[in-house]
């Protein structure tokens, strides 16, 4: 897809389809008024006849526009003028793209942002446009042998801005947006693959392939023997029951002086989670292929970082494995020793994500990081607490939590700051080891974060529980690409 910025008026710009809006009570937007004068008042006639009232969700396609520079005009209802802000703008774009997909238009220009939008500048408009178009055109990896979805005909999409002074901002937004959606697409492609395709070895090969594509990206993959020599007993305890070899994947990107402390992203990479000996119920277990969404988001964020050549140092760490039951599998009550030297009583083998993350967090210390952020589909409890709309955000540093929360707000990829504290950590006491890997049912997302916090002394650390936001079930089952937008926005705005 090619994106561009236009400063020409709608009545002068040639395109296959011009997208304009009408507010409630039939009030034409500035772009609709300008274009309407060129096409013989056809938009005003729609309003007068009552065929278009400007309600949110209304959409009418006009064609056969003799004498006009446009082949088609797509007129959208935008709802209340004063309430038309970023959320409504994104929804309007989605409606426009759904309507466009039913036409043969190869290019289009959106004029929806020419009127002032309260919380959206030209930069944000452009990012939202790119993200909306990418979302409409994304196709999951297809293993069907028939009835394949046709490729979209739309190949070029323009954003109209009010003045030449806005053009630079919008072009910057397009550049950032393209990197973000590229990272999201990679995340979604990885997470949507079945677990017999996307194994730990597959992730390792994908990482090495990325390093071949980007000279500034270094990748190392540690095998199980190397992890054992490093003392990663907690990580390796999870993979004991699997015939698939584990892989500990490390990305290194240096966009600044090597003396500058890096941001480290750590992603949970359980490519399939049966629960181990603490076996999950069968219903919905197929969705456990998404349990590597934290890892996939690290892949996506690293791709975006190198695409943008950000002036930062960023390290990505992905402990990748399966959690399977067999005669060698870790049993409830077993005690394992983490890379930090702390011992863990494994009371529930289905609380495995924290067991691989804790060793990855310990490994991150060798980089003397400025910040460590881990990402994981960690707990069903977080889904109960926050549903599928907000990620759970936990941190031992309120300033870092505020920065990540603000990034989520800017990126429409929101997170909610959740508590951690000693009182919650009490639930992790063990009679036989330094800690247990689970507490009770109450506050399960919090006690999971408290477990990870035991490995973060001296680190500026945050944990994002993305169990409710990284993928969706039901008829539209699949990866969402979150939290790549949040992560990239955070990195873009690092001071």
Chain center to CA of 395: 19
Q: Which helix (H) or strand (E) element contains residue 463?
A: strand 461-465
Alpha carbon distance 466, 472 (integer Å): 11
Alpha carbon distance 404, 375 (integer Å): 12
Cα dist. 254→216, 260, 321, 439 in Å? Answer: 7, 9, 27, 39
Closest by alpha carbon to 373, among 269, 246, 491? 491
User: Which one of the listed residues 354, 405, 454, 482 is annotated catalytic?
Assistant: 354
Terminal-to-terminal C-alpha distance of the chain:
32
Pairing of strands 263-267, 313-323: parallel
Rounded (to 5) percent helix, strand, coil in the chain: 40, 20, 40
Instruction: Identify whether 354 is a catalytic site residue.
Output: yes
User: Which one of the listed residues 53, 90, 156, 280 is annotated catalytic?
Assistant: 280
Alpha carbon distance 358, 360 (integer Å): 5
Instruction: Identify whether 337 is a catalytic site residue.
Output: no
How many CA atoms within 13 Å lie on the side-chain side of 95? 22
Phi, psi at residue 59, to the nearest 5°?
Answer: -155, 125
The beta strands (E) that lie in 255-312 are given as 263-267, 269-273
Q: Give the active site residues.
A: 280, 354
């Amino acid at each position: 897809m090619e994106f561009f910025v236009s400063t020409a008026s709608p009545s002068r710009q040639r395109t296959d389809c011009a997208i304009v809006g009408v507010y409630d009570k039939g009030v034409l937007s500035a772009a609709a008024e300008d274009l309407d004068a060129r096409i013989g008042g056809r938009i005003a006639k729609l309003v007068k006849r009552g065929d278009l009232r400007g309600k949110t969700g209304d959409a009418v396609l006009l064609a056969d526009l003799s004498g006009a520079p446009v082949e088609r005009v797509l007129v959208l209802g935008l709802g209340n003028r004063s309430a038309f802000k970023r959320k409504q703008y994104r929804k309007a774009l989605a409606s426009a793209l759904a309507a466009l997909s039913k036409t043969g238009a190869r290019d289009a220009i959106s004029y929806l942002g020419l009127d002032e939008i309260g919380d959206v500048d030209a930069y944000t408009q452009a990012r939202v446009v790119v993200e909306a178009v990418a979302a409409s055109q994304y196709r999951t990896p297809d293993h069907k042998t028939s009835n394949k979805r046709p490729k979209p005909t739309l190949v070029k999409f323009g954003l109209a801005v009010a003045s030449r002074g806005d053009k630079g901002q919008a072009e910057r937004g397009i550049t950032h947006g393209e990197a973000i959606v590229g990272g999201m697409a990679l995340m979604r492609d990885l997470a949507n693959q079945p677990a017999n395709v996307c194994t730990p070895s597959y992730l390792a090969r994908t990482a090495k392939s990325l390093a071949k594509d980007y000279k500034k990206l270094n990748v190392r993959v540690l095998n199980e023997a190397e992890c054992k020599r490093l003392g990663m007993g907690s990580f390796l305890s999870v993979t004991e029951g699997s015939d698939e070899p584990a892989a500990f994947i490390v990305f290194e990107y240096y966009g600044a002086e090597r003396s500058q402390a890096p941001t480290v992203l750590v992603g949970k990479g359980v490519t399939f989670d049966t629960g181990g000996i603490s076996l999950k119920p069968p219903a919905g277990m197929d969705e456990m292929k998404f349990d590597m969404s934290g890892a996939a988001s690290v892949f996506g964020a690293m791709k975006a970082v190198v695409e943008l050549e950000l002036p930062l140092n960023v390290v990505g760490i992905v402990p990748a494995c399966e959690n399977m039951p067999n005669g060698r599998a870790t049993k409830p009550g077993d005690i394992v020793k983490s890379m930090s030297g702390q011992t863990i009583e494994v009371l529930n083998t289905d609380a495995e994500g924290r067991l691989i993350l804790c060793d990855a967090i310990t490994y991150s210390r060798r980089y003397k990081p400025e910040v460590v952020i881990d990402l994981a589909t960690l707990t069903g409890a977080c889904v109960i607490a926050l549903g599928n709309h907000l990620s759970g955000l936990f941190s031992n540093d309120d300033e870092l939590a505020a920065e990540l929360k603000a990034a989520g707000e800017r990126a429409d990829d929101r997170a909610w700051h959740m508590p951690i504290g000693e009182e919650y950590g009490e639930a992790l006491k063990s009679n036989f080891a330094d800690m247990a890997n689970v507490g009770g049912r109450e506050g399960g997302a919090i006690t999971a974060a408290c477990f990870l916090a035991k490995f973060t002394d001296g680190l500026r650390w945050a944990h994002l529980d993305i169990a409710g936001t990284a993928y969706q079930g039901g008829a539209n089952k699949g990866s969402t690409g979150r939290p790549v937008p949040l992560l990239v926005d955070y990195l873009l705005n690092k001071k």
